[in-house]
Structure 1
């Protein structure tokens, strides 16, 4: 999970980016494990009803095994009705992941109100696609992708996975992978590049698991060292 950042995903340098009047959120620390079509209604919900079996605690009745609850997990392009929930998830996962790893003023920057402003701004950005993962119509994670990557990513044929975040309670259920696959469809590009924090070994492991690898390029910004990863066998970055 979480995914230039749960973080999309920019979701990291919040206040400095607000001062620079960015319409995309600050780069977010990619969170491991965390479908939308572009903006067309035709692809409004890619996996509208994906049944997922969930084993719950055994009932108290004798001679009965574990009960099985079918939940409806779906990935959809974000809509205004989910802006508030997405902002709450963004703020919660941001603090949960980054507290103690990045400068405190940056960790404190992503409040629910600030995340809501970022979400509203992103909805008007034609370069960005935001998808939410819904469990019983409750937002449990999100991904943000950019059709054209931001510098210093110099990969004209790739899109950028800016952030990928999923609530901890829903880790290891395939939600992060579903968001990434849906994101590819949403932006019409299977080639993705991203930045992940060097301290976030879990996120790096998740991305390797779904086909990403390090390029050897690094950068250090306000939050600390970051590693570039891509999910295709591309040419070395041209700097």
Structure 2
């Protein structure tokens, strides 16, 4: 049986802070999270565009998507459905129909530690979807599963309500409590790297990139 806490607590209480990460590369966010692994092994299957939202977490048995269907019933606008599918790629957990439901209900995207199908339809869509692989085989729908519990996604522990950011390089997640301090570091590194690129293009580069910084970049 799929279980879920009575108080999910996944709705973002600081939308402006989350929005401030729009356009921030996951590589730079990762650098300033002590280069922790992030959700390793996942790649984007959608046409393009950044994933940005708060985590609605799902843990399910490998190859079974009953809990994901239940999460689709409660997902709220701006939430990313983050699924711990035990990294199993033998059966797809979501496809075009579930993507369409999620998009229609205002979800911000999917992060699937497992497989998807209908890859061509997802590739033609702007709805963010990250997963390990694509396969034609469909899922079971028996359970068990859990909603709004901490999950492990490719070596990254993601808790309900965490900020989730994804781009062509992959997915990172972090607690809202550290977001403000993290944002300052990310913006500083983005400014520094933009200046380095400018000096390279203008012929003024003097190996500044080799100098260690607090973030280790």
The answer to whether TM tops 0.5 is: no
Name the TM tier (shorter chain): under 0.3
